[in-house]
Structure formats: C-alpha cells, structure tokens
Structure 1
Amino acid sequence: MEPIPDLDTLSLAQIARLAEDHRLPPVEQWHPDHCGDSEMRIARDGTWYHQGSPIGRPAMVRLFSTLLRREPDGSFVLVTPVEKLTIAVEDAPFLAVAMKAEGEGEDARLAFQLNTGDLVTAGPDHPIRFVEAGDGPRPYLHVRGGLEALVARPVYYDLAGRALAAPERPGIWSNGIFFPLVAE
C-alpha cells in the first residue's frame, strides 16, 4: 500500500487526481453467499476492531476498507469474489480527519482526508449532510456506494465556521453545490 499523503502539502487539483487514480475493487459486482460474521467492528471514532482488539496496522485497515460494502438493507459487509462477511459499524465506517479548502462562496472546493488515507472532494457525487444528535449536529460526507464518513469534531468546527460565514444562509459550498447547515 502507498503511504498516506500529507493533505497540507497537496493542492486540491492534486487531491482530485489522487482520488481519481485510487482504484478500488469492484465490490458492487461481487455477490458470493454470506459466510458469517467477520468478528470485526468499526467504532464511532473510526477504530477498527477484530475479536475485541484494535487492529494496529493502518495498512490492514486500509485494505479491509477497500472491501467494505453497504447492503440494500443498510447492513455492512466485507466482500471478496468468494465470500461475504458481516461487519458491525457503530456510526459511519469512515472518519473525515482533515479538510483542505480553496476558494470562497460558490467557488469554494473542500477536500477531506479519511482515517484510511482516502481523499474525497465534496460536491455532486460526494454530498455533505447534517444529522441532529444529542450532542449537536453531525456532518456526514458521502464516500461511495452508500458509505459515509463522519466528519471529526475538529474538522466540523472548521466547517461550521465556513457555514456560519455564508451571507445567504448557513451552509457550505463545494464544487458548485451548496450544502445547508440544516440537520435532518
């Protein structure tokens, strides 16, 4: 696996190129029989566990994350061409741990780095939504195929600052799309 890039050293154009070049296995095309439980869990803080112990090797977490799929019933599985195993996800399977912003208003572009090292630029294919929770609104970024990243609290504060500075109504722009700061 390639090393995780340093978001601070990349331009948004470089981030977009890296995200485009990142090829994932075609998990949506694989339909093996369900084989059981993986005995794995993704905690709300983004930590991956196997049989109750944290997976300490980031490369393993990145590898498993490429095999993750959301089923039509909302459950999560790890899938290969020959097996499908259930995985428990406490909230969202990914955590957006860093953000890079360029531009202002309608010209803004926001790129996020996930806890797996993946890079995602918010926009039409990767919308941001806000959900009201007991501890305040939680922003989520669509990653792929029904999989989302919970935006980490420090990154959320940066988002909220941008959203509250919007002149028309609270929200954020990225890639020509406006995402209102309204919880579902």
Structure 2
Amino acid sequence: MPYEPPPELAGLSLAEVAELAASRKLPPVAQWEPETIGESHMCIAADGRWFHEGDEIRRPAMVRAFASILRRDADGRHWLVTPTQKLSIEVEDAAFIAVDVRQDAGGLAFRLNTDDLVIAGPEHPIRSEGDPDTPAIYLAVRNGTEARLNRSTYAQLAEIALAGGGFTVSSLGATFPLIPA
C-alpha cells in the first residue's frame, strides 16, 4: 500500500491530530530485549538526515521504517531494535526534527521530519536547553527519543508564547518554559 502522509498540520484540529497519532501502528520496541547487540553503522545528523556507512539514506520510506524501531536508553544511547537484535546508532543531536507546530484547543501539535504527529503534554514534554540567548528546544517523542525544533518551528512556538504574555507555552494542562534555566 502506498504511503499517505497526514494532511497539513494547519488543517487539522487537535482531536484529529490525536486520532491520526493513535492510529499509527508502531512496533513495540520498548518490550523487546534481544540478546544480539551490534553496530548499525548508521548516524542521524543534527539536521535530521540519516546516513549509513557515510552515504545519505535518501528514501523517506526507509527513514520512516528505521525511525519506527528507534529507542533511546537511560544512558542516552540510541538503538535500532527488532525482536532479534539491537543495533547502536549515532545521533548527533536529536533523533527527529520538529518542522511545524499548531496550537488548538489547549494543545500544541507538532509535525516531525518523518511525518510523525506528536501532541506536547505530560507524556510528551517540551524542554529547553542551551542558554537564554541561544536556546535549543526539544520535544519528547517516544521510547526515550526526542525532536529538536527547527528554527521556523521555534519561531512559531515563540509567537504562541508571546501571544500568551510570556516565555512559556502550555499544552494539555502542562506548562513549559522556552528559556533555559
């Protein structure tokens, strides 16, 4: 079956984003603990591009497939996990890039570079790193992984914060500062 990307974020309500995100069937990588551990020879660059043995993976379907089996452990190491093996993958910054955001009905919905949709909130918190002059904003995605907001998405989020009268944003009842402590 051909891949159908979700509609543009601007045309979706928060409920529609939640429904699309819930309908995505992802492998249960958090439950898998394979005995075979190795190296994938893969890297996710800070700009979100995926590489294997130095060559860029240019097929979006391949990137989406690999992203669906990605997890990060408590030590911060990233892994591609299947029922039979766990392969390390180098991640220069974050595994994903948040490329769009929309505020609707008390929530913030994000689109990632892999077309994943994530709603910020208690299960998907936003955190701010760096310093006040050059913050880096991250969104928790799944299985310990995160997305870094690209420049335009950060600007959108800053506009939402300023419209609310400060440097924080709220989503699903949780409040997140946009300036690092």
State TM-score, norm by structure 1.
Answer: 0.90
Q: Alpha carbon RMSD of aligned pairs, Å?
A: 1.7
For residue 69 of structure 2, what is the amino acid of its counterpart? L
Give the counterpart of 1:170 among 167, 170, 173.
Answer: 167
Residue in structure 1 matched with residue 3 of structure 2 by the alignment: 2
Greater Cα shift, 171-180 or 90-99? 171-180
Instruction: Return the alpha-carbon distance in structure 2 between the equivalents of residues 90 and 36 of structure 1.
Output: 19
Counterpart residue identity of residue 140, structure 1 = Y
- Secondary structure of the residue aligned to 1:150 is strand
Q: Is the 8 A contact 2:170 2:176 kept in 1?
A: yes
1:181 aligns with 2:174: no
User: Does residue 42 of structure 2 align to residue 44 of structure 1?
Assistant: no
C-alpha displacement of 1:134: 9.3
Identity, in percent, stands at: 50
Matched with 1:142 is 140
Shift of 1:28: 1.2
**What's 1:109 paired with?**
107
CA deviation vs aligned residue, 1:5-61 (integer Å, no higher than 9, x gap) = 122332221111011111211111111124321110000111111111111110110
Q: Which runs of 5+ in 1 are unaligned?
A: none
Aligned equivalent of 1:77: 79
Q: Report the number of matched residues.
A: 179
| One-letter amino acid matched to 2:162 | L
Structure 1's consecutive aligned runs of 4 or more residues displaced over 4 angstroms after TM superposition are none
Distance 1:2 1:8 in 2: 20
Structure 1 pair 34/73, CA: closer, same or farther in 2 (3 Å)? farther
**Matches of 2:177 and 2:23 in 1, distance apart?**
30
Cα drift, residue 156 of structure 1: 0.2
Contact kept, 8 Å, 2:70 with 2:143, in 1: the verdict is no
Q: Which amino acid aligns with 1:110?
A: L
TM superposition shift of 1:118: 0.6
Q: Distance in 1 between matches of 2:145 and 2:119?
A: 15
Query: Is the partner of 2:141 in helix, strand or coil?
Result: strand
For residues 99 and 73 of structure 1, the distance between their equivalents in structure 2, rounded to whole angstroms, comes to: 29
Pick from 125, 128, 149 the counterpart of residue 126 of structure 2: 128
Deviation larger for 114-123 or 30-39: 30-39
The normalised TM-score by structure 2 is 0.92
Q: Which amino acid aligns with 2:169?
A: I
Cα offset for 1:109? 1.4
User: Alpha-carbon deviation of 1:153?
Assistant: 0.7
